[in-house]
């Protein structure tokens, strides 16, 4: 792999040595430099565009051209006459200035060639065809080739280091909430322009009074001929896999229709190969574009997530069967009204296996306590965990936006979701033995959003935003554990079953030949989040904003632990576990938790030169009350939370942003429930009724520069967080079974994060370096002992990618990750290195060959593990415009059984082996509309 990087470096050097550079300045008729002027060099012989440039703030441009070649150079600028001149390169560089004259003609100048990248105010426009070489199939393939655009590890689009939260097609919303639906499904041949909308605001009335510099949206402009016609593709495939896998199949229709008045997008998927658009976790986290009105108020209340997390993911499963049906529509009956919505239905079946080994670290005895803490930690444990997960999920969203005039806008959204989830786990533990677990849940939620924006006059704007959520979660848990009733009273604890002491503490009947433990839960949430904003524009440089808002939340939590005996009868246990105050705990919960926050915020925004300052403060009146077991705890208090933002706009595409805010975080109802709760058979918790909020100080610094003069994109982000009165668990072990409660820790937790990327384009070669550093200091409490856990993670990722139109393209990447964990006398260090290569070639305008290979090596704790991943596909179509394409795809060509993962936790070191799908080879046919 090192030789490949050396070869790529030599290619860059030889490529650069075969070129000359044309430099110069573009000015107007009075000698002032013109920023963002377009300069194009067209090869006179081939008539192809050879190079392009956009002038910087000093009017400078640079073109990299071949030696001894004749070019036509076109220079254009809005409002100026286009200048065209012929130049011939020799062996040395050329300095050449251009002067443009004003254009008083009404007719627009028609250019033969389009600029690959143009800038129009805050909009960056990419001409998609300028970056295609023919091997692309989906929008994602095009986005990866655009300067300044990245697809991160989570599949999200990043522009200049900022995550894109909204994607539109021809100005119409496309599945609000997850851009992956678009990037993995919209065909690349339908894309004409990719418009990056910086400083994006969904409400035009608020654009001038809010800081939107970090909001980025993308609009995909379709090619001519795609409107008023269906386009897309339908793929069908079949294949084989090693026994005992079933015969492989795949069917994926992806159809799109756009007209000026309405649009309809239909995406379907049925396969047992594991190629999915959205994973189960993606859909669980699918927000539908909803944003909390109180997001910037300084208050955060955690409502909890009591759904099934899933044993594994689709990427780490031995068997995957999925069905997906989605539809997205928009309709504009008139200019004032826009209607839109989507529906998503997903059904998946997963089979997983994970083998792991946990090595628990040692804790020194505290001589000041009567117990020996060093003997309390669990024994080392090896587990084999097999799981089956069945999930059925549905999401529906309907939206309406009414804009009768520029002074009024009314928006309404409703999002409903429901799921039916079941997870079976068969776990063998070297300590506990055989365990069978069942998790079931059928949760649902309805989220509504109402916004109204009113412009009274040019100096006064009102905005009302309200969001209402109701949810109902009903997780059920069952575990079957082996038990030998004859050893319950053995004087030697090592001869007893590992779960015996815990079972006795929970009040279970221990005279059974197996523990059949069960728990029912019900969590109901009702929350209103609303605010009213008033903006007063003082002058062109400043405005003031007053916010009056509230959060009203009600949660009800019921749970009950019970046991089925060997004869099938139901037994309600009476636990004898005590809390930290010596009170005996209950095996059930019946809690009502009410929270309210009424706040008033004031923010003043003003500009001076390159600086924009936004100091602010919010005044909060909090109330939180919970009632359980006949006792009520209530806490009312007042708090002041300041925030501050400062921005330096060095140039149009270079800025530095500083942000500081204080934030109050409140816990969810399950952490204050004083009865026992089973997370699973080896993790038991009980809450604390009088838990208080945690206060955090948050600082961040973000630098961004996008320079089209030298094709350099740089971003860097620093952040620091300090949490005071953080809610921490207090954990004690009985064998490998942990019991935890919660309290407000007087010890502050801290974290520091730094990340950045430098990207530079040299002709057809793009090089980048991505780094990140994460340091955290967390206080933990295990076996009654307080200790400090320090973690320091480093990531380095250099990459070289080519983008030739005729020649094959290659991407070389090397990822190096270092993870350090330090807990007093116990320190661990793990390293992961992953060199990878992607190769694609488009041959004879008919054949596309794509392959990727990676090698992962993990080292640490005296062991070394590695695995390899290799996928490839070969596609044939008669020509670029052919309707039919035939392909052969192979995944996991080396037929590896599993991936490995090693790491260090707060009190343990672990190694795991996750089994994956075997080698799959499929034959496919794709028909394009």
789 and 749 Cβ atoms separated by less than 8 Å = no
Each residue's pLDDT tens digit, 275-304: 887 777 777 777 777 888 998 999 999 888
Other CB atoms within a 10 A radius of the CB of residue 353 amount to 21
Strand, coil or helix: what is 266?
Answer: strand
Torsion of CA 9, 15, 17, 22, to 10 degrees: -130
- Asked whether the predicted pLDDT for residue 28 surpasses 50, the reply is yes
Give CA–CA dist 857/816, Å, rounded: 10
Each residue's pLDDT tens digit, 482-509: 998 888 777 777 778 888 888 999 999 9
Give the least confident one: 325-329, 360-364, 424-428, 841-845: 360-364
Please spell the DSSP secondary structure of 696-736, one letter per residue. EEEEEEEEEEEETTTTEEEEEEEEEEEEES-EEEEEEEETT
Give CA–CA dist 483/232, Å, rounded: 59
∠532-538-542 over CA atoms, to 5°? 90
Strand, coil or helix: what is 581?
Answer: coil
The rounded radius of gyration (Å) of the Cα atoms in the chain is 31
Give CA–CA dist 695/299, Å, rounded: 10
Q: What pLDDT does residue 580 have?
A: 82
Burial label, 406 (beta-carbon count in 10 A; 0-12, 13-18, 19+)? exposed
The pairs formed by 825-830 with CB atoms below 8 angstroms and a separation of 24 or more are 825/364, 826/361, 826/362, 828/860, 828/861, 828/904, 828/909, 829/860, 830/858, 830/859, 830/860, 830/861, 830/902, 830/903, 830/904
Smallest CA-to-CA distance from 929 within 371, 186, 308 is with 186
And the tokens for 524?
A: 């109901």
Mean pLDDT, the chain, whole residue set: 88
For residue 530, the cross-strand partners are: 466, 550
For residues 446-453, give the mean pLDDT: 96
Kindly indicate the confidence band of residue 522, based on its pLDDT and cuts at 50, 70 and 90: very high
Helix or strand holding residue 539 (H, E): strand 514-539
Kindly indicate the confidence band of residue 201, based on its pLDDT and cuts at 50, 70 and 90: confident
Higher-pLDDT residue of 807, 870: 870
Give CA–CA dist 679/39, Å, rounded: 63
Beta strands in 725-862 (DSSP E): 727-734, 737-744, 749-762, 765-782, 785-802, 809-823, 826-843, 847-860
65 and 71 Cβ atoms separated by less than 8 Å = yes
Smallest CA-to-CA distance from 694 within 733, 732, 658, 668 is with 668
Q: What pLDDT does residue 3 have?
A: 53
Q: What pLDDT does residue 244 have?
A: 65
For residues 444-469, give the mean pLDDT: 95
Please spell the DSSP secondary structure of 854-882, one letter per residue. EEEEEEETTEEEEEEEEEEEEEE-SSTT-
Cα separations in angstroms, 133 against 19, 807, 848: 22, 9, 10
38 and 11 Cβ atoms separated by less than 8 Å = no
Q: What pLDDT does residue 372 have?
A: 59
Residue 128: φ, ψ to 5°: -60, -40
497 and 482 Cβ atoms separated by less than 8 Å = yes
Burial label, 770 (beta-carbon count in 10 A; 0-12, 13-18, 19+)? buried
Q: What pLDDT does residue 654 have?
A: 87
Give CA–CA dist 709/53, Å, rounded: 6
CA 329 vs. chain centroid, Å, equals 25
Give CA–CA dist 876/887, Å, rounded: 6
467 and 449 Cβ atoms separated by less than 8 Å = yes
Torsion of CA 300, 301, 304, 309, to 10 degrees: -10
Please spell the DSSP secondary structure of 308-330, one letter per residue. ---SS-GGG-SEEEEEEEEEEEE
Give CA–CA dist 516/60, Å, rounded: 76
- Asked whether the predicted pLDDT for residue 5 surpasses 50, the reply is no
DSSP 8-state secondary structure symbol assigned to residue 784: T
Burial label, 108 (beta-carbon count in 10 A; 0-12, 13-18, 19+)? exposed
- Asked whether the predicted pLDDT for residue 661 surpasses 80, the reply is yes
And the tokens for 564?
A: 């089925």
Kindly indicate the confidence band of residue 11, based on its pLDDT and cuts at 50, 70 and 90: low
Give CA–CA dist 866/885, Å, rounded: 36
Each residue's pLDDT tens digit, 227-247: 788 999 999 999 988 776 678
Beta strands at 611-628 and 631-651: parallel, antiparallel or unpaired: antiparallel
pTM of the model: 0.89
Q: What pLDDT does residue 107 have?
A: 45
Q: What pLDDT does residue 208 have?
A: 80
Alpha carbons within 13 angstroms on the beta-carbon side of residue 240 total: 2
Q: What pLDDT does residue 64 have?
A: 85
Q: What pLDDT does residue 309 have?
A: 58
Each residue's pLDDT tens digit, 34-89: 888 889 888 888 887 888 888 888 889 888 888 889 999 989 887 788 888 899 99
Sign of the dihedral through C-alpha 297, 298, 299, 305: positive
Kindly indicate the confidence band of residue 900, based on its pLDDT and cuts at 50, 70 and 90: confident
Each residue's pLDDT tens digit, 128-186: 888 888 888 899 989 988 888 888 877 788 888 788 888 889 988 888 757 888 888 89
Give CA–CA dist 479/425, Å, rounded: 9
And the tokens for 386?
A: 């097999």
Each residue's pLDDT tens digit, 360-375: 776 665 666 666 555 6
* Percentage, residues of the chain above pLDDT 70: 94
DSSP 8-state secondary structure symbol assigned to residue 108: P
Please spell the DSSP secondary structure of 630-666, one letter per residue. TEEEEEEEEEEEEEEEEEEEEETTEEEEEEEEEEEEE
Largest CA distance in the chain: 102
Give CA–CA dist 384/912, Å, rounded: 10
And the tokens for 328?
A: 């997205």
Helix or strand holding residue 471 (H, E): strand 460-473
410 and 402 Cβ atoms separated by less than 8 Å = yes
CA 639 vs. chain centroid, Å, equals 32
Question: Tokens 């999915």 — which residue?
Answer: 276
Strand, coil or helix: what is 258?
Answer: strand
Strand, coil or helix: what is 144?
Answer: coil
63 and 54 Cβ atoms separated by less than 8 Å = no
Sign of the dihedral through C-alpha 674, 679, 680, 683: negative
Kindly indicate the confidence band of residue 108, based on its pLDDT and cuts at 50, 70 and 90: very low
Cα separations in angstroms, 649 against 130, 652, 655, 657, 696: 30, 7, 4, 9, 28
Other CB atoms within a 10 A radius of the CB of residue 364 amount to 12
Q: What pLDDT does residue 211 have?
A: 79
63 and 96 Cβ atoms separated by less than 8 Å = no
Kindly indicate the confidence band of residue 106, based on its pLDDT and cuts at 50, 70 and 90: very low
For residue 608, the cross-strand partners are: 611
Q: What pLDDT does residue 706 have?
A: 85
Q: Which residues of 415-435 are buried (b: 16+ CB within 10 A; e: fewer)?
A: bbbebebbbbbebebebbeeb
And the tokens for 821?
A: 């964990």
């Amino acid at each position: 792999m090192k030789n490949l990087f050396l070869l790529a470096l030599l290619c860059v050097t030889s490529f650069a040595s075969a070129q000359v550079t044309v430099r110069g300045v573009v000015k107007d008729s009075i000698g002032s430099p013109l920023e963002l002027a377009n300069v194009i060099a067209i090869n006179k012989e081939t008539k192809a565009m050879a190079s392009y440039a956009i002038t910087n703030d000093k009017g400078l441009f640079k073109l990299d051209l071949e030696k001894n070649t004749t070019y036509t150079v076109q220079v254009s600028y809005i409002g100026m006459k286009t200048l065209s001149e012929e130049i011939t390169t020799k062996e040395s560089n050329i300095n050449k200035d251009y002067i443009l004259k004003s254009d008083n003609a009404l007719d627009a100048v028609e250019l033969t060639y389009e600029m690959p990248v143009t800038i129009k105010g805050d909009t960056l426009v990419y001409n998609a065809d300028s970056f295609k070489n023919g091997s692309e199939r989906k929008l994602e393939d095009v986005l990866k080739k655009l300067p300044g655009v990245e697809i991160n590890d989570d599949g999200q689009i990043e522009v200049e280091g900022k995550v894109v939260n909204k994607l539109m097609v021809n100005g119409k919303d496309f599945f609000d909430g997850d851009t992956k639906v678009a990037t993995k499904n919209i065909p690349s041949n339908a894309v004409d322009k990719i418009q990056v909308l910086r400083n994006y605001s969904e409400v035009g009335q608020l654009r001038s009074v809010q800081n939107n510099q970090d909001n980025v949206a993308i609009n995909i402009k379709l090619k001519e001929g795609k409107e008023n016609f269906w386009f897309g593709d339908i793929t069908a495939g079949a294949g084989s896999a090693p026994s005992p896998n079933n015969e492989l199949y795949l069917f994926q229709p992806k159809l799109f229709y756009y007209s000026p008045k309405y649009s309809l997008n239909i995406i379907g998927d049925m396969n047992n190969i594991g190629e999915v658009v959205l994973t189960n976790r993606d859909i669980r986290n699918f927000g539908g574009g909803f944003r909390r009105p109180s997001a910037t108020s300084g208050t955060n209340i955690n409502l909890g997530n009591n759904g099934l997390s899933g044993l594994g993911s689709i990427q780490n499963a031995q068997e995957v069967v999925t069905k997906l049906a989605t539809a997205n529509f928009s309709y504009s009956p008139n200019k004032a009204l826009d209607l839109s919505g989507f529906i998503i239905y997903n059904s998946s079946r997963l089979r997983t296996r994970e083998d792991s080994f946990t090595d628990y670290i040692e804790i020194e005895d505290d001589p000041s306590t009567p117990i020996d803490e060093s003997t309390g930690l669990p024994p080392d444990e090896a587990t084999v965990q097999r799981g089956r997960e069945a999930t059925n999920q549905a999401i529906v969203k309907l939206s309406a936006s009414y804009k009768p005039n520029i002074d009024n806008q009314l928006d309404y959204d409703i999002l409903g979701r429901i799921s039916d989830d079941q997870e079976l786990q068969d776990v063998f533990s070297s300590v506990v033995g055989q365990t069978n677990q069942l998790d079931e849940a059928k949760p649902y939620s309805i989220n509504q959003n109402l916004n109204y924006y009113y412009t009274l006059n040019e100096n006064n704007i009102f905005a009302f935003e309200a969001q209402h959520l109701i949810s109902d979660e009903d997780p059920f848990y069952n575990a079957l554990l082996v038990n030998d009733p004859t050893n319950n009273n053995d004087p030697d604890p090592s001869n007893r079953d590992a779960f015996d002491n815990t079972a006795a503490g929970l009040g279970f009947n221990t005279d059974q030949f197996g523990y059949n433990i069960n728990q029912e839960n019900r969590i109901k949430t009702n929350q209103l989040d609303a605010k009213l904003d008033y903006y007063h524009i003082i002058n062109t440089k400043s405005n003031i904003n007053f916010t009056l808002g509230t959060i009203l939340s009600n949660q009800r939590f019921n749970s009950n632990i019970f046991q089925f005996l060997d004869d099938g009868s139901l037994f309600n246990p009476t636990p004898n576990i005590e809390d930290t105050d010596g009170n005996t705990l209950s095996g059930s919960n019946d809690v009502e938790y009410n929270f309210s926050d009424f706040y008033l915020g004031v923010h003043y925004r003003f500009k001076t030169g390159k600086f924009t300052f936004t100091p602010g403060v919010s005044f909060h009146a909090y109330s939180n009350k919970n009632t359980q077991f006949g006792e009520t705890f209530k806490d009312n208090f007042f708090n002041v939370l300041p925030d501050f933002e400062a921005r330096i706009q060095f140039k149009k595409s270079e800025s530095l942003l500083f942000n500081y805010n204080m934030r109050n975080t409140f816990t969810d109802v399950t952490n204050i429930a004083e009865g026992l709760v089973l997370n699973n058979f080896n993790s038991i918790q009980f809450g604390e009724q009088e838990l208080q909020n945690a206060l955090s100080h948050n600082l961040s610094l973000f630098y961004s520069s996008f320079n089209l003069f030298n094709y350099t994109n740089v971003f860097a982000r620093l952040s620091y967080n300090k949490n005071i009165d953080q809610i921490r668990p207090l954990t004690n072990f009985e064998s490998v079974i942990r019991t935890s409660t919660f309290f407000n820790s007087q010890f502050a937790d801290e974290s520091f994060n730094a990340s950045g990327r430098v990207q530079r384009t040299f002709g057809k070669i793009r090089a980048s370096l991505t780094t990140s550093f994460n340091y955290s200091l967390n206080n933990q409490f295990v076996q009654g002992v307080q200790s400090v856990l320090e973690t320091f993670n480093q990531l380095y990722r250099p990459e070289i990618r080519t983008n030739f139109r005729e020649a094959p393209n290659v991407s070389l990447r090397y990822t190096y990750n270092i993870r350090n964990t330090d807990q007093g006398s116990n320190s661990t260090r793990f390293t992961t290195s992953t060199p990878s290569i992607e190769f694609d070639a488009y041959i004879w305008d008919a054949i596309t060959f794509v392959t990727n290979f990676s090698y992962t090596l993990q080292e640490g704790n005296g062991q070394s593990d590695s695995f390899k991943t290799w996928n490839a596909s070969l596609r044939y179509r008669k020509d670029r415009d052919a309707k039919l394409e035939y392909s052969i795809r192979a995944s996991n060509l080396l037929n590896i059984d599993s991936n490995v993962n090693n790491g260090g936790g707060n009190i343990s070191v672990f190694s795991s082996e996750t089994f994956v799908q075997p080698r799959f080879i499929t034959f496919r046919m794709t028909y394009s509309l």
